[in-house]
Every structure is written in C-alpha cells, then in structure tokens.
Amino acid sequence: MCMVNFDYGRMSRMGFGETVLAEGKTLRDLVEILQAVLEKNAPLLVTRLSASVYQTVLEALPHLAETCHYNEHAGVLRSHREVSLPSPGETPLFKVAIVTAGTSDRCVAEESLETLMHHQIPCTLFGDVGVSGLHRILNIQEKVQAADCVICIAGMDGALASVVGGLFKVPILAVPTSTGYGASGQGQAALSSMLATCANGLSVMNIDNGYGAAMAAVRLRNMLFLKLEDDRGRKILN
C-alpha cells in the first residue's frame, strides 16, 4: 500500500525542493523514498535521521555513502553539491550568521548549517555567546553585522534572542532549543520567551527547528533573487 507521494515539482514551484523528515517514518517507507529520489537524480535532503537509522538505511542503499554527505550531530543527510562558498575577501550575495547561546545547542545549529549549505547559502557560526556573559555577544557584534540575516539559537531562558533583536537591523530568525530541564519544559520556556520578546519584529521557529530557520533564510534569499533578477536566482526560481 503506497503512502509516498514525493513532490518533485516543489523546486520549480517554491524555489526549494521537498525535504524528507526521517523521524516517524517506517524503515521501508524511508528506503523507498530515498531510492526513488536518487533514481530521479533529484537533490536529496533528509533531516532528523539518527545515526542508527542511517546505518540501517545504508545497508539497503549502500551507494548513499558515495553520493551523499551525512552529519551525525545534525542528523542530516544531503546529496553532494558544489557549495560555492565565497573566497576570502569576496562578498557573497546573501549570507547568514548563526549565533548560539551555549555549546549544548550544537545539534540544532548544525541542522541549520547543513540545510543552508544544501541551498548554497554561506554562513558563519558563532557558538556559546549566551547572555550570562554579555561580553561574548558584544565582542562579535561587528562580525555578525556583516550578515544579511541572523539565526539565533538558544535554549533555557531563550534570552539571547531578545538581546540579539536589539543589536541588529536585519531579519532575526529565533530558534528555541530543548536544552535545559525542569521549568525549561523541553524548550517551552525559550519558545514562550522568544514569542513574548520585548525586541521588535523577531520571527520564531518551532523548538529545535534548526531546519526551519534555514528554510526561512532560503525564503529571504528567494525574495532577494526575485527582486534583483539575479542570474543565480533565475536558475533556482524559474
């Protein structure tokens, strides 16, 4: 009984392809989808793919290891692509800065990073700059200012987002993480805090949704491409 209905036309319709969320799928369905996408030679992006599930999938589809890159911390599998990161000194069209409150937010940050790289968006990561040592975010303020959009990842109190919101003019994509315990409520405290922020115009994602923040950045890039009638954008958006 077929449950799979992959949306191959999404790239041309939306400016980005369909992503496969591994979590919650039966192994058989997952393998069936990956095989189909690979056979179509379509770009592949899989999220929430645990190391153990990846190993089992690899047994069914051993060529995955050659055509794709797997990042265990991110839980992301993506097809090899030429990622044309800007050479030093050269300014890319659109670039993202990721800031995280703590070292424990690494997995979410890497999910964002891999998703951005899949969409060929250059990105710099500034880890462990939480507000309990305020000098850390102030020290990198100038570097972050070079980005067109800031992804702010924080668990526990989520307070970094409000501070970041007051420091930068560009779009802020705030991602609460499930770091913390007790009243953190698996990310609920950070989520509510980011939604209720005193800073202006923050955009909020679901808890641990590093992927979503990266996709919101892809939409920003889409807007820019459409606006600028940029050649690279034309390839992607038409």
Site residues (CB under 8 A) for a second copy, limited to 75-134:
100-107, 109-110, 113, 125, 127-134
234 binds a second copy (CB under 8 A): no
Residue 204 contacts a second copy per CB under 8 A:
yes
Decide: is 220 part of the binding site for a second copy (CB under 8 A): yes
Q: By rule CB under 8 A, what string of x and - marks binding of each residue 24-63 to a second copy? A: xxx--x---x--------------x---------------
Residues in the interface with a second copy (CB under 8 A) total 110
Cβ neighbours of 4 (radius 10 Å) = 11
Shortest distance, position 41 Cβ to a second copy, whole Å: 20
169 near a second copy (CB under 8 A):
yes
Q: Which of 223, 229, 231, 235 binds a second copy (CB under 8 A)?
A: 223
Question: Taking the complex as a whole, how short is the minimal distance between the CB of residue 5 and a second copy, in angstroms?
Answer: 4
Beta carbon nearer to a second copy, 1 or 88: 1
* Contact status, residue 206 vs residue 215, Cβ threshold 8 Å: no
Q: Which of residues 1-20 bind a second copy (CB under 8 A)?
A: 1-7, 10, 13-16, 18-19
Specify the residue, 68 or 126, whose C-beta has the smaller distance to a second copy: 126
Contacts of 58 (CB under 8 A, 6+ apart): 64, 65
Among 42, 73, 122, 232, binds a second copy (CB under 8 A): 73
- Per CB under 8 A, 165 contacts a second copy: yes
